[in-house]
Amino acid sequence: MGALQDEPLFSPALRQPRSLREAWELKSACAEQAVYVSGGTLLRTQWEAGTAAVPQVLIDLRNIAGMEDVTRDDDYLTIGSLVTLTACRRSGALASAGPAAAEAARQIAAPAVRNLATLGGNIASGYGDILPALLVHDAELAVYDGNLLRVQPVEAWLERRWSGAIPPAELVAGVRLPLDQGSGGSRLAVFRKVGRREAFTASLVTIAVTADWDAAARTLRRVRLAAGGGSGRPQRLAAAEALLEGAELSRSLLGAVYEAVEHGFASYDDPFAGEQYKKKTAGNLIVSELWQTLELKARS
Amino acid sequence: MPDNFRLEEMGEMAGADIPAGPLYTLNCTVNGRALSLEVPPGRRLLSILREDLELTGTKRSCEIGRCGACMVLVDGRPVNACLTMAYQCGGAEITTIEGLGEAGLHPVQRAFLEEGGFQCGYCTPGMVISVVGLLRENPSPAQEDIEEALSGNICRCTGYGGIMRAVNKAIESGVSP
Residues A82 and A133 in one domain: yes
From A123, A145, A178, the end of a domain falls on A178
A2, part of any domain: no
The number of folded domains in chain A is 3
Residues from chain B that touch A45, judged by Cβ atoms under 8 A, are: 64-65, 83
Contact assignment for B41 to A58 by CB distance below 8 Å = yes
CATH code where residue A117 lies: 3.30.465.10
pLDDT score, position A197: 85
Q: Considering the domain boundaries, does residue A208 fall inside one?
A: yes
Q: Which of A137, A160, A178 corresponds to the end of one domain?
A: A178
Which segment of A40-54, A104-118, A159-173 scores lowest on mean pLDDT?
A40-54
Task: Give domain status of residue A54, yes or no.
Answer: yes
Kindly report, residue by residue over A257-291, the tens digit of the pLDDT.
999 999 999 999 999 999 999 999 999 999 999 99
Which residues in chain B touch residue A199, judged by CB atoms under 8 angstroms apart?
147-148, 151
Q: Would you say A55 and A34 are in contact if contact means Cβ atoms under 8 Å apart?
A: yes
Whether A234 is covered by a domain: the verdict is yes
Query: Do residues A230 and A267 both lie within one domain?
Result: yes
Q: A169 and A87 in one domain?
A: yes
Residue A3 lies in a domain: no
CB-nearest partner of A112 from B44, B47, B79: B79
Q: Among positive and negative, which fits the CA dihedral B44, B48, B50, B51? A: positive
Residues A193 and A252 in one domain: yes
Both A74 and A38 in one domain: the answer is no
pLDDT per position as a tens digit, B115-129: 999 999 999 999 999
Is A235 part of a structural domain of the chain?
A: yes
A107 and A207 within one domain: no
User: A42 lies in a domain?
Assistant: yes
Q: Which residues of B touch A63 (CB under 8 A)?
A: 16
Comparing CA positions, the residue from A156, A152, A175, A154 lying closest to residue A165 is A156
CB–CB of A16 and B17 under 8 A?
yes
Domain residue limits at A144: 70-178
Let me know: does A228 contact A132? Beta carbons within 8 Å.
yes
Does residue A80 sit in the same domain as residue A172? yes
Q: Is there a contact between B22 and A40 if contact means CB atoms under 8 Å apart?
A: no
CB contact under 8 A, B18 and A10: no
CA dihedral A252, A257, A258, A259 (to 10 degrees): 100
Do A77 and A164 have their domain in common?
yes
Enumerate domains of chain B plus CATH numbers. Answer: 5-100 (3.10.20.30), 107-172 (1.10.150.120)
For residues A19-44, give the mean pLDDT: 96
pLDDT for A293:
86
Q: Can you tell me the mean pLDDT for A130-141?
A: 98
Contact B152 A116 (CB under 8 A): no
Cβ within 8 Å of residue A59, ≥6 positions away: A15, A16, A17, A23, A26, A27, A30, A34, A35, A36, A37
Tell me what pLDDT residue B7 has. Answer: 33
Number of CB pairs, chain A paired with chain B, less than 8 A apart: 103
Each residue's pLDDT tens digit, B17-74: 333 348 999 999 999 999 999 999 999 999 999 999 999 999 999 999 999 999 999 9
